[in-house]
Structure 1
């Protein structure tokens, strides 16, 4: 029996309209040949927007709360990467990660024979500490949150694209939730939270902590950059548990006008009484279809009461919305799914940008109204 979803104002679609065979699951950074990697830096796809891109690091400290994972830390520290339209394309490239972060991330992920400096040698497209090029009234801000144990640098390709299109992007590294996060003074925060990841209610604890991280980051950025950031135009996107964090942050903080969950089980609970009335995009792989393996999207779809889309990327897998396919392809490998790395990046960038342009800039985006022959891999599972 075909399952259908009906809600007030919802265009009814059957599950069959977006069903596709599940893509093969692989290690998130499934590289297998060391010989192809030695001495060759990985590269990210160039951004397509008209603006040069700058990037800078910020270290924030929230003294109003202790760290939720590390009992010896008296305050919650955050590492935030800010990407933005820049005035110049000339200058030193921003690092993808530090050498120590790269080593610890790849060792902890047990990624076969990949050289441990792969990430630190990855070539980005952003100019380090370039002078920002703003506009009168400020630019819209997009917050990014990464997957579990991953640094926010794994969303660099998306961040650079958005910055080239005129957005300020704040990527949050959540210390002690990643295998490695560099902090001031040469300190490295390793994954303390990994010791608790089998505890009951752990995932809910993570997303609530991330929501608090996001609200504090917004406070700091709005205060520090009042001329660069338009505080009335803020959105958030996250991958995996970062996508669940986007839901939790929107429930907590009304300043976030729109949100995107890229392939994340939504451990955050939306209040049943009022739902979540701000625009939201669910963008996932073939496991995220109505009646599929992840039932959280079925549950939350009914509680999203505003503009919403549920899109499935046929041929994608869990890491298709990150840099992993591009990093693998740059060294002659494949990181899972049947999409090419270039196509995975194009689809993610295109649909995320369209959503943000519609809801933060008021641009009409027919791409989000119906399936497009240009992007046949993207199936509409629901819209309203």
Structure 2
């Protein structure tokens, strides 16, 4: 079964689930899942996300934020823009319940939206994560770098959980933004669910540019509430406001460019396989990483990176994984087997996750912690799947 994930149809990547060994560079262990019995699905098998590779226990919590300074861009009758933000962070080593991957209703609406019929509708709500819900944050004041994550269109930010948990286990605070009305389901306190109103206009001229602008405004507001005087999270004092990066997949990656243009607090950005819809007219001098599938190679099918590469005037890298597909940079390949979805691409789910985690963390370690990262300077024998594209060139080595 094929799914239209992001803005174009793709086949989901390899089935099954794999757990990583202790190091992000270590070979993955064989796929693992957990059989859970229920009245509705007596023999259903539910996925378990790979364990993070860092030394810190991981906590997570959810914030409901309300921006009264602007109406909702998708539902104009709503006088304020509401957002749900998922935080992952280093936590004190105490036990507690692991956070759900998403709610049962979110799982149902996402599977229905993607026309997935080979799995129980609650399967994503039963997927096991590695973060303890509402755990006490751990760290010293103003020392933890912050990474903002933005998901692909129609997808919740929970589909970036394996990456987020790993960053948190290495000492980062991660803020995943669920952009309301751009996903099949976003649950607010009290059980109210926002559905994908924006899906009704996704073929309109200028739609991509609008989404990028909306998300840039969302991210600036989230940064205000995480680092400003009206902090919405008890652990906000741990965040270093001078060490902020943003990464996103698909249109979330394109939004990283827009957010950096709009907000200088974001020091560095990553686009994971996202078409960029709006030109950077004045250029951008802060560090930026393009990392994507073969469609985004220089001179490839998607020319937006060729255009924007010339306008990036600071540190920059362009990495291509020829064996990847559009969802290889998310949790989707890890869940594909349990969802009964067809497979595509040459990278196994475990390998795709290892590469994504390793390169994203190298980028933020370099630009937020100023730790040298030779991995980003030239092709690595540890990761022959990753091609470094020459600036302005037509080939990748």
TM-score by length of 1: 0.89
C-alpha deviation, 1:327, in angstroms? 1.3
Aligned equivalent of 1:142: 147
Instruction: Give the conservation status (yes or no) of the 8 Å contact 1:31–1:112.
Output: no
Quote the Cα distance in structure 1 between the aligned partners of 2:203 and 2:212: 15
Query: After superposition, where does 1:1-384 map in structure 2 within 5 Å?
Result: 26-28=10-12, 38-88=43-93, 90-223=95-228, 224=231, 225-271=235-281, 274-329=282-337, 335-382=343-390
C-alpha deviation, 1:31, in angstroms? 7.1
C-alpha deviation, 1:90, in angstroms? 1.5
Instruction: Give the conservation status (yes or no) of the 8 Å contact 1:325–1:334.
Output: no
Quote the Cα distance in structure 2 between the aligned partners of 1:89 and 1:50: 14
Q: List runs of 5+ in structure 2 lacking aligned partners.
A: 1-8, 17-34, 36-40, 393-397
Deviation track 1:262-303 (CA, whole Å, cap 9, x = no partner) reads 0000113212xx310000000000111010011000000000
C-alpha deviation, 1:330, in angstroms? 5.9
Deviation track 1:3-37 (CA, whole Å, cap 9, x = no partner) reads xxxxxxxxxxxxxxxxxxxxxx74448979xxx99
Quote the Cα distance in structure 2 between the aligned partners of 1:345 and 1:184: 31
Quote the Cα distance in structure 1 between the aligned partners of 2:14 and 2:386: 24
Instruction: Give the conservation status (yes or no) of the 8 Å contact 2:15–2:337.
Output: no
C-alpha deviation, 1:71, in angstroms? 2.6
Instruction: Give the conservation status (yes or no) of the 8 Å contact 2:290–2:319.
Output: yes
Q: RMSD between aligned alpha carbons?
A: 1.9
C-alpha deviation, 1:134, in angstroms? 1.3
Quote the Cα distance in structure 2 between the aligned partners of 1:354 and 1:330: 31
Quote the Cα distance in structure 2 between the aligned partners of 1:111 and 1:325: 14
C-alpha deviation, 1:333, in angstroms? 6.3
Query: How many residues are matched?
Result: 355
Instruction: Give the conservation status (yes or no) of the 8 Å contact 1:247–1:268.
Output: no
Secondary structure of 1:148 counterpart: coil
Quote the Cα distance in structure 2 between the aligned partners of 1:29 and 1:179: 21
C-alpha deviation, 1:89, in angstroms? 5.0
C-alpha deviation, 1:136, in angstroms? 3.9
C-alpha deviation, 1:138, in angstroms? 2.5
Instruction: Give the conservation status (yes or no) of the 8 Å contact 1:208–1:268.
Output: no
Instruction: Give the conservation status (yes or no) of the 8 Å contact 2:13–2:349.
Output: no
Does the C-alpha gap of structure 1 residues 46 and 173 become closer, same or farther in structure 2, counting only changes over 3 Å?
same
Quote the Cα distance in structure 2 between the aligned partners of 1:69 and 1:29: 31
Secondary structure of 1:84 counterpart: strand
Quote the Cα distance in structure 1 between the aligned partners of 2:278 and 2:352: 27
Quote the Cα distance in structure 2 between the aligned partners of 1:249 and 1:80: 16
TM-score by length of 2: 0.86
